[in-house]
Structure 1
Amino acid sequence: MSNLLVIDVGNTDAVFGIFEGTELLHNFRIKSLKDENYVFFEYRFRQYFLENRLRYADITKVVLSSVVPPLTPIFKSLIKNIFGIEPIVVNAYIFPSIEVSIDNPNEIGSDLVANAVAAFTKYKRNCVVVDFGTALTFTVVSETGKVLGVSIAPGLRTAVKALFSNTAQLPDVPLELPESVLGKNTVHAIQAGILWGYEGLVKNMIQKIRIELGGDCIAIATGGLSSIISTLHGEFVEINRELTLEGLRIIGESQP
């Protein structure tokens, strides 16, 4: 059995996906704790393989995307030590069909490159990928595969935490869309302000992007929080939490 392992190291979690062909067989995550050492990540990684009776020998290729520089060498070492292979490290130039048309292509996050690859490969249309993660990102890709630009805002959880950055105790604020925008208590008020506020933010950004592209632009949602704001679902042709992993798979398949 020949399987592909993809790893997306983000600011909150490192997400792992194991593919056999185009099928995602396994999907798991480890917290991206920047103060932890190699042993912490190797132990949790090996534990998952053991608990799920996975064989290291079945992994024949690994694709690594990381937007956390302190963790990048740790994961490169983990891959080398466990599988005995060098990972394919994602950058702005790795996928020939995608041209990153920004001032400094090296500034773009490798996860956004993966999002662009997945969206362009599937649709080949003007599109914006809205990624609801630690940051809320809008990656715009043209019908010819050109990444035209990126917009970034704080993610939903990040926005909630920012309200209490100088407070000793963070109240428990479930990310649930309330029926009313008129908060009757602290939690409700935060839910109304953040979630309904972000609904307007996302709709407005998509509208402005479409105007700049002459009206033709589909929207795709991804990220762990992509389904939270239910009133946004009609804005998207697809809500796919695993879009980034799929992009990494496509990148892996394109490499020798």
Structure 2
Amino acid sequence: MSILLIDIGNSTVDFRIFDDKKKNIIKVFRPSTNDKSYKSSSKLKKKLEELNQNISSIVYCSVVPEWNDIIRALGSSLKIKVYNFRENLVIQKEDFDLNGVENIGADFLANFIAVKNQYNLKNGLVISMGTASTIFLVQNYKFVGVSISPGLETSLKGLFNNASLLKDFLFHKTNAKIGQSTNDAINLGSCNGHFFMIMGLIDHFKKHFIIKSVIFTGGIANIFKEDIKNLDYVFDEQLIFKGILEIYKNIKREN
């Protein structure tokens, strides 16, 4: 049997399958959150049927409420159980040292559950690079706070929308020491510069807190995975899905 895991973010909806026999997570498809060709339970059902997977349950994590109804309708159409990560998560308040635990985003919670169970993280940072670049701090196994910055693509969209002479382009990390073309200038300042900003925030946290581990995740982090590895930091592209899966395992244990 296979479990359909879904991470519904502000930019993309990432569909993956957990193979219960092989115990691995497989990439399936990842449309834009606003892609109308996917915002239909019937279209999603057809797409999944093409994969010829025997899906027994759906577990999803969402920060986009309008997608919740689509996923529930998909489960109903497939006649399988659907579990919302946030609704099935029992928050252990002793794991948090901050006000308003109930307001923490589902994506933060899923990543925290993952680092708690997969990495036994005691003192460190978890950096997720997506629509926003977020960093949450763990001290003595507790979630104690967050930093939120506009993500790389979000920043570039702002630049292009407000600078009429600049055109959209495929961004990438550059080896240029200085920009001698528009593309190099934007890549150096925006792409490389975004990573430099995160390094600066890591240095800031290291001055004020105990930081023994730094874990990166999120789609944009793929661009910098060699840099992350060279810094002896962890890159875990599947982190949020590991957190979603932990909740599913808890549900099954309780049943």
TM range (shorter): 0.7 to 0.9
Confirm or deny that 1:184 pairs with 2:185.
no
1:72 and 1:251 map into 2 onto residues whose CA distance is 17
Given that residues 92 and 105 in structure 1 are in contact (C-alpha distance below 8 angstroms), is that contact kept between their aligned partners in structure 2?
A: no
Contact conserved, 2:41 with 2:70, CA < 8 A, in 1?
Answer: no
1:224 aligns with 219
| CA apart distance, 1:95 | 5.2
* Deviations 1:17-72 (CA, angstroms, capped at 9, x unpaired): 211233114432232118x49x83324422332221123xx31x322211112322
- Determine the structure 1 residue equivalent to 2:51: 52
SS at match of 1:160: helix
Q: Which amino acid aligns with 1:132?
A: M
CA distance in 1, matches of 2:88, 2:69: 19
- Given the two structures, how large is their TM-score scaled by the length of structure 2? 0.85
Q: 1:148 maps to what in 2?
A: 144
Shift in alpha-carbon separation, 1:74–1:236, aligned structure 2, 3 A: farther
Counterpart code for 1:135? A
Which residue does 1:131 correspond to in 2?
128
* Deviation at residue 180 of structure 1 after TM alignment: 1.9
Deviation at residue 154 of structure 1 after TM alignment: 0.8
Alpha-carbon distance between aligned partners in 1 of 2:116 and 2:75, rounded to the nearest angstrom:
28
Q: Which range is displaced more, 103-112 or 113-122? A: 103-112
The 1:195/1:86 distance shift into structure 2, 3 A limit, reads closer
SS of 2:219's equivalent? coil
Counterpart of 2:39 in structure 1: which amino acid? F
Give the match for residue 197 of structure 2.
201
What displacement does 1:161 show? 0.8
Size of the aligned set, in residue pairs, is 248
Taking the aligned partners of 1:46 and 1:162, their CA distance within structure 2 comes to 35
Q: Cα–Cα, structure 1 residues 199 and 46, in superposed 2: closer, same or farther, change >3 Å?
A: same
Deviation at 1:75, TM superposition (A): 2.1
* Correspondence list, 1:22-171, <5 A: 22-33=23-34, 36=36, 40-55=39-54, 58-59=55-56, 61-90=57-86, 94=90, 96=92, 99-124=95-120, 125-144=122-141, 146-166=142-162, 171=167
Give the aligned residue type for 1:246. K
The alpha-carbon distance between structure 1 residues 98 and 161, as it changes in their structure 2 partners (threshold 3 A), is farther
Residue 222 of structure 1 aligns to which amino acid in structure 2?
T
Structure 1 gap segments, 5+ residues each: none
Distance 1:89 1:10 in 2: 13
The CA deviation at 1:176 is 1.5
Structure 1 residue identity aligned to 2:217 = T
Q: CA RMSD in A?
A: 2.6
1:102-161 Cα shifts (integer Å, max 9, x gaps): 3212322111111111112122221211111111111222342x2111111111111111
Quick one: distance in 1 between partners of 2:115 and 2:7? Answer: 17
Query: Per the alignment, in what secondary structure is the counterpart of residue 249 of structure 1?
Result: helix
Q: Is the 8 A contact 1:12 1:31 kept in 2?
A: yes
| Consecutive unaligned residues in structure 2, runs of 5 or more | none
The 1:173/1:120 distance shift into structure 2, 3 A limit, reads same
SS of residue matched to 1:254 = helix
Q: Is the CA contact 1:156–1:195 (under 8 Å) kept in the aligned structure 2?
A: yes
Per-residue CA shift, 1:190-220, capped at 9, x if unaligned?
1111122222211111122223223x33111
Structure having the higher helix fraction is 2
